[in-house]
Each structure stands twice: as C-alpha cells, then as structure tokens.
Amino acid sequence: MSSFSLLALGDSYTIGESVSPSENFPNQVIQLLRKSNFQFQDPEIVAQTGWTTDELQEAIDQRTFKAPYDFVTLLIGVNNQYRGRPIEEYKTQFESLLKQAIGFANGKPDHVIVLSIPDWGVTPYAKTTGRDQQQIRTEIDAFNDANMEMARLYKANYLNITPGTRDANHDLNLIASDGLHLSAKEYARWANQLSKIIESRLN
C-alpha cells in the first residue's frame, strides 16, 4: 500500500520552536492520520525560526524537492509583521509561495492548506517587553486578510487559527516555555483541524 506525503512550509510555528519535534503541528497531524489508518510518511518540513517570506523563498530555491506531495501546508508572515515589513511586499511574496505550494501538491489547490498567522501580542514576551498589543493585533489581522484573500483566489484551504491563539491571554498552557512561541497543546488544536481537512480529501 502506497503512503501519502505532507510538505510543511513555514517558520517557527511550523518547525515548533521550543517544543520537541514530535510535538510540532506537522508531526501531530501525521500521528492523527495514522491513528485513522491512513498510511503517511513522516512530514517533510522546510521551516526555520525567524524566516520571512523572502527567506522561505530562498530556502525553497536552494532545496531539491521530491515533488509532487499529496498535501502541503503554508504558514508564513509573522516575521514580516515583526520586522515592520510592508504588507504589499508580503502580498506579492506570499502569492508566489502559494503558487509554488500548489505546484508541489501536483497542481491541486484543494490539497494545500494555508494557516493564518498567530497573534504573538498576547504572549508573556510581548507583555514583559512593553509591546503594543493592540497594534500587533491590528497588523496581524491585516496580514491575515492578505493571506486569506490569496488562499480564496487560488482555491486553497484556509485554516484560521488566530482567534484560538488569543486564548493564551487567559491560558498560559498554550504558550511554550520561552514565553513567546506556542506549546504542544496549541499545536494539537491545529493538528486536529488539519487532519480533518486532509481526511476529507482522502475519503
């Protein structure tokens, strides 16, 4: 029986900064799908903490892929916002990345899942360093409007995980030990939703 493949493109939220590799969301997705008796290879992850859209693009350009993949996830943009990069630049670069993601998924946009950018403004790091939480929230929402628009334009799946990440305002169990990134508990919530999207495409 042939096994399915998942390619995950992104940044710290994809690699799972401050959690064990088995606890990042791509690996948790695969674990859930295997429990549902789907044969899946270990996920291929192209992600690094701190990457912006152009840095992810550079990594893609330098890598040899064994495409096509059965499913591809794309989550990128928090570092564009963090560094104060213009949203118009983000739109252009994100659109290019999304088109490539669809290509990696053998031209099937319904096998690509775009995830929204988490709101890091609710984290202990943002609070203790005196960041403007409302400004971060507003800017994250604007970046997410852009990536959602692109996902809809290209008919990819869109998973809005941002409202859930704001639960960290009153639930610190959703935050990793570094006070900035997300915990395995938060990634489990994403994985549950992602696995359902993927299962719906396989059934």
Best CA proximity match to 153, nearest among 102, 90, 89 = 102
Q: Which stretches of the chain drop beneath a pLDDT of 70?
A: 1
pLDDT at 203: 85
Alpha helices of the chain — where are they, by DSSP H? 12-15, 25-35, 53-61, 78-82, 87-104, 124-128, 133-153, 162-165, 184-202
pLDDT at 14: 98
- Listed in sequence order, the residues at least 6 apart from 194 whose beta carbon sits closer than 8 Å to its beta carbon are 25, 29, 73, 113, 159
Q: Strand, helix or coil at 125?
A: helix
pLDDT at 179: 94
46: number of Cβ within 10 Å: 17
pLDDT at 183: 96
Q: Which domains does the chain have, with CATH numbers?
A: 6-202 (3.40.50.1110)
Identity of the residue numbered 135: Q
Phi, psi of 84 (to 5 degrees): 75, 25
pLDDT at 46: 98
How do residues 184-195 score in pLDDT, each as one tens digit? 999 999 999 999
